[in-house]
């Protein structure tokens, strides 16, 4: 199982690194590598690869996609909201592995500096509706992203 996690992380990491624009991290209870792509003036797509659970019984690897509508409040300070979906692999203490699928959303605020840096703070509720460990959960994160 560890080898599968490492291989998947390496493949996705190389894909993100190949297009390093709009790349960053989301830091909360666990961490995520985050990629964001603008889709027009006020829309964007965010893809996050999360690895975590190291301080819990369960370990997980997740891939989350969120479509965001973005509005500026003043100058470079804005807010965003949008629907999302997540797939995850969960490993239990007894070495069992489970696959989960969830839906949810994200709401947050962000600020784009005059240098290519964006900082954000958001909440992301998710409901895993398919899989062994289904149910509702949420997380809040501080994001730092290199933007071009």
Query: What integer pLDDT is reported at residue 73 of this predicted model?
Result: 96
Residues of the chain with pLDDT under 70: 1-21, 54-55, 133, 148
Query: What integer pLDDT is reported at residue 2 of this predicted model?
Result: 56
Residues 68, 44 contacting (CB under 8 angstroms): yes
Domain architecture of the chain: domains with CATH = 2-146 (2.40.160.20)
Whole-number Å distance between alpha carbons of 41 and 26: 23
Rg of the chain (C-alpha set): 16
CA-based angle 67:70:72, to the nearest 5? 170
Whole-number Å distance between alpha carbons of 34 and 63: 10
Whole-number Å distance between alpha carbons of 107 and 89: 24
- Residues in CB range of 118: below 8 A, 6 or more apart: 24, 110, 111, 112, 143, 144, 145, 147
Burial profile 88-99: b = 16 or more Cβ within 10 angstroms, e = fewer: bbbbeeeeeeee
Whole-number Å distance between alpha carbons of 22 and 134: 31
pLDDT single digits (tens) 75-105: 999 999 999 999 998 888 887 888 899 999 9
């Amino acid at each position: 199982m560890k080898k599968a996690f490492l291989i998947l992380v390496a493949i996705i990491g190389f894909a993100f690194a190949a297009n390093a624009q709009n790349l960053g991290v989301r830091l909360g209870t666990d961490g995520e590598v985050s990629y964001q792509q603008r889709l027009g003036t006020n829309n964007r797509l965010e893809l996050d690869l999360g690895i975590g659970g190291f301080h819990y019984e369960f370990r997980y690897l997740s891939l989350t996609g969120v479509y965001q509508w973005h509005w500026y409040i003043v100058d470079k300070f804005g807010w965003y909201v949008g629907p999302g979906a997540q797939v995850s692999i969960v490993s239990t203490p007894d070495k069992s592995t489970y696959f989960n699928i969830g839906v949810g959303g994200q709401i947050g605020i962000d600020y784009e500096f005059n240098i290519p840096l964006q900082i954000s703070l958001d909440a992301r509720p998710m409901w895993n509706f398919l899989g062994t460990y289904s149910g509702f959960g949420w997380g809040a994160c501080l994001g730092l992203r290199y933007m071009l």
